[in-house]
Structure 1
Amino acid sequence: MITLKDIELAHERVAKVVSKTPFSYAPKLSKTTGYEVYLKKENLQNTGSFKLRGAFNKIASLSNSERAKGVVAASAGNHAQGVALAAEYFGIPATIVMPETTPLTKVDGVKSYGAEVVLSGMNYDEAYAYAVEYAKKNNRFFVHPFADEQVIAGQGTIALEIFDKCEKPDAILVPVGGGGLISGIALAVKAISPETKVIGVAASGAPAMKLSFDAKTPIDTTSVRTIADGIAVRDTSPVTLEYILKFVDNIVLVDDEEIANAILYLLEKQKLVVEGAGAVSVAALIHNKISLPKGAKVVSLLSGGNIDVTMLSVIIEKGLLKSYRKMKLVVTLVDKPGSLMKLTEILKNAQANIVQIGYDRTSLDLKFGDAYVSIGLETKGKSHQEEIKKLLHTHGYRFEEEH
């Protein structure tokens, strides 16, 4: 098991490539939660994730002969970019095995550092199995994303930077997937400030580490499904579980709906782009998964920002619907000239902006002479939407609201 000295040594090593990411007070989040909340913004790290710290520290700790063979890694994206950048720094070849479902932005990010990308498997664990075999066949050094003490030491350097900015916080919230990040942070925290609580946050769609923490023994799951792809780990590592059981105070779960809310909250309120795995700590805060005294000083770690743009657009669209800033209606009209114009005139008078419209006169459940009009509207809140629906009812329209 590593010590604080190993993390301090790692901090010296990674200083060559790692940015000391911003640490700042979050007034809006503090007001919302009742805590004194600070954000450690590893989403703004080089490569867009904390993973660079552990990957670089591991490769830097290898001998010249080990590095010369080249490295292989398995990753959903962030560890991959960390390994690729570190390999580029040392001038060695790198092959990264990524799940076939990996977002394009992460694949392109890895390739931009000159690494070879191999897509294999439908999740991290399947990609991992392929990568281990690939490394053996090609006599290359395998860099594990979390179950490695030098990787854990690299991730722990975040704690040193937190304590440089915030003396003795009451709690630090850390995303949990494979457990390398929280292992390194928790070890450092308990060595520097034992009274500070370390609370892990995992996705309910990938609960292996939470189940293992509660049972105090490794428990694997049969599958994972979460928008937080960076922490979508199916199996529990005995290596990281040992650290977690010794140094972590608690692990809580958040679901995809809560994670999506946190992503949108950070985008709107904090002007930060954060991926699903990086947003889970804020999801735990805004959905009251943490029980601490009012006014407690809490550090929320935003571990990464490499979110797929397509996923972000879906989250924004759903968020607008949930917050009553957008609504979708299917209105039944008499299919004759002027009917659509009359409907749009009513919506115009209601100050509802039409952003999408479709016209269907062939659906089998329509009466002859009728048509369905699907309409997307920008609205100004719940009361505005109620006014629009009341107005349509007053004019005799039949309609359904889509959710």
Structure 2
Amino acid sequence: MTSPKPEDKQQNQEEIALDYLRRILLAPVYDVAKETELTSLTKLSTRLGQQIYLKREDQQPVHSFKLRGAYNKLANLSEAKCIHGVVAASAGNHAQGLALAASKLGIKATIFMPITTPDIKVDNVRRLGAEVRLVGKSYNDAQSASIECAQQEQKTLIHPFDDQDVIAGQGTVAKELLQQQSKLDAVFIPVGGGGLLAGMAVYLKQLRPDIKVIGVEAEDSACLKAALDAGEPTDLSHVGLFADGVAVKRIGEHTFDVIKHYCDEVITVSSDEICAAIKDIFEQTRVIAEPAGALSLAGLIKYCQTSEGSESLAAILSGANMNFHSLRYVSERCELGEQKEAVLAVTIPEEKGSFKRFCKALSGRGITEFNYRYAGANEANIFVGVKLGGEVEERVALQQALTKANYKVCDFTDNELAKLHVRYMIGGQSPANVDERIFRFQFPEYPGALEKFLDTLGEHWNITLFHYRNHGAAFGQVLAGFEVSEEQQLAFFRHLKDLGYEWQEETQNLAYHSFLKN
């Protein structure tokens, strides 16, 4: 048996591409989906010197592009398969898209979801008309149960991405995009299992082969990059869960067959960069994108950092089903992703006035966070956040300047352990036996507010504990401990009055006695 000639392989690939093009053009997704807007991100365009557009799939009835592929798959099922119903496993957007699509077509849908799925998602799927079965503690458990159900109850299993009709349905995003803006130089598309990238890439390259198609992955879930390196789909040992909408261990077989021919480049981005993109989207559109939804814009911004010249670029906002409580993490990390904050460990002398001298060494840069606990030694280690202008070079220059001023500095800006845990664990019980009083302060945030605080109190009393975090609010919050003897109390409280800030003593607070008091 002879191997296919290269020209035969090329012809076969062209036939596959034309078949996808036909499927995309004929996909009846607009029975339930809507044509979403293409928003010009004017502020970001000015900042990056490019023309940047955002394709708004958050505007779909289920706030995600997944509805397109699910509906196209169901619309192409035979009558016999429709009668028996469909089944799927999902803890997110695929479940909601399939539920709505099935309801529209009058097909019974059964969705297996892990028992850990938030109630709001379970309730949404039920509200859209699907039967929900809660099984296992992970997606894999739910997936296994859905496969077993499909076999036992003769239901059709609807895969979230690795299916030709699903891929074609997602490809309708590209059809709209070119109709809305044909003069594009590059399109950035998020990658989980690859359904959206495959569908959009095959369409774009048939009509505009000169457009660069760039896939964007979370660096802790980069299954496409792994497949490209290996030459075939391969399993990741583990995936990160922050961008849960793209937390896929293995790229699809069908999707990879398409992507390897039509994707020009793959960019990976960090969680911090995704958080920065969520912030950019919110500031321009007032929409809160989910992490997977902001993934492609994060990749676009990273691309602009090294690209030359002015280009017309589009990113796909793939979804906006954000878990509300995740916003705490996003708010904490977005400025790190924008290179607007450095996180440092600095050794300072254990003496009065050392805080104030350190602030002056920052040359006017704002402090976003200050963590310190007195240990009774000659030196103290502080955990400090410092505002930057958005350039990596400034972070390097800051570290060099502090080193020149005789401070020992360690940069923790890229240290996940420090950012996730250590910054919240600074403190503990002091081994030193001191007359400590604990106070909470609130003061208006303005340049120099923290220095004024230290001017008034830091030169006169030994600070034994200090925690400050600027969250961008109008008021700053400080927890501070002072060594105040009985003879000094009158003078100390006089200075508190002179300070002019709201304060409350917490020396008798049970939390202080449990975790911080010696």
TM-score (normalised: structure 2): 0.66
1:248–1:88 CA distance, 2 compared to 1 (3 A): same
Aligned residue in 2 for 1:394: 459
Aligned residue in 1 for 2:52: 37
The equivalent position to 2:255 in structure 1, one of 236, 240, 244, is: 240
Aligned residue in 1 for 2:195: 180
Shift of 1:272: 1.7
CA distance in structure 2 between the partners assigned to 1:375 and 1:139 by the alignment: 65
CA distance in structure 2 between the partners assigned to 1:180 and 1:53 by the alignment: 11
The equivalent position to 1:257 in structure 2, one of 254, 263, 272, is: 272
Q: How does 1:10-21 map to 2 (within 5 A)?
A: 10=27, 13-21=28-36
- Determine if the alignment matches structure 1 residue 152 to structure 2 residue 218: no
The equivalent position to 1:221 in structure 2, one of 218, 223, 236, is: 236
Aligned residue in 1 for 2:120: 105
Aligned residue in 2 for 1:9: 26
1:138–1:364 CA distance, 2 compared to 1 (3 A): farther
Q: How does 1:38-187 map to 2 (within 5 A)?
A: 38-187=53-202
- Determine if the alignment matches structure 1 residue 207 to structure 2 residue 222: yes
Q: Deviations over 1:7-46 (max 9, x none)?
A: 0111xx1111111111121111112222210010101211
Q: Deviations over 1:332-378 (max 9, x none)?
A: 8xxxxxxxxxxxxxxxxxxxxxxxxxxxxx95757464244466777
Aligned residue in 2 for 1:352: none
1:32 counterpart letter in structure 2? R
Shift of 1:76: 2.9
Shift of 1:311: 0.7
Q: Is the 8 A contact 2:368 2:468 kept in 1?
A: no
Q: Is the 8 A contact 1:174 1:301 kept in 2?
A: yes
Q: Is the 8 A contact 1:40 1:301 kept in 2?
A: yes
Aligned residue in 1 for 2:418: none
Q: Is the 8 A contact 1:330 1:374 kept in 2?
A: no
Q: Is the 8 A contact 1:41 1:303 kept in 2?
A: yes
1:208–1:123 CA distance, 2 compared to 1 (3 A): farther
Aligned residue in 2 for 1:280: 295
1:367–1:94 CA distance, 2 compared to 1 (3 A): farther
Q: Is the 8 A contact 1:328 1:375 kept in 2?
A: no
Q: Is the 8 A contact 2:88 2:112 kept in 1?
A: yes
Shift of 1:234: 1.0
2:320 counterpart letter in structure 1? G
**Which range moved further: 262-271 or 61-70?**
262-271
Q: Is the 8 A contact 1:71 1:94 kept in 2?
A: yes
Q: Deviations over 1:141-195 (max 9, x none)?
A: 1100000000000000000100111013100000000000100000000011000
TM-score (normalised: structure 1): 0.84
Q: Is the 8 A contact 2:44 2:280 kept in 1?
A: no
> Does 1 or 2 have the higher relative contact order (CA < 8 Å, sep 6+)?
1
CA distance in structure 1 between the partners assigned to 2:239 and 2:122 by the alignment: 21
Shift of 1:49: 0.1
CA distance in structure 2 between the partners assigned to 1:259 and 1:156 by the alignment: 24
- Paired residues in the alignment total 371
2:123 counterpart letter in structure 1? D
1:233–1:122 CA distance, 2 compared to 1 (3 A): farther
Shift of 1:286: 3.0
Q: Is the 8 A contact 1:252 1:289 kept in 2?
A: no
Q: Deviations over 1:280-310 (max 9, x none)?
A: 1111233447754421110010000000011
1:221–1:318 CA distance, 2 compared to 1 (3 A): closer
1:308 counterpart letter in structure 2? N
The equivalent position to 1:312 in structure 2, one of 312, 327, 340, is: 327
CA distance in structure 2 between the partners assigned to 1:53 and 1:203 by the alignment: 23
**Which range moved further: 276-285 or 46-55?**
276-285
Aligned residue in 2 for 1:198: 213
**Which range moved further: 237-246 or 289-298?**
289-298
Shift of 1:379: 3.0
CA distance in structure 1 between the partners assigned to 2:81 and 2:107 by the alignment: 10
Shift of 1:401: 3.6
Aligned residue in 1 for 2:497: none
1:200–1:369 CA distance, 2 compared to 1 (3 A): same
Q: Which runs of 5+ in 2 are unaligned?
A: 1-15, 342-365, 375-427, 470-518
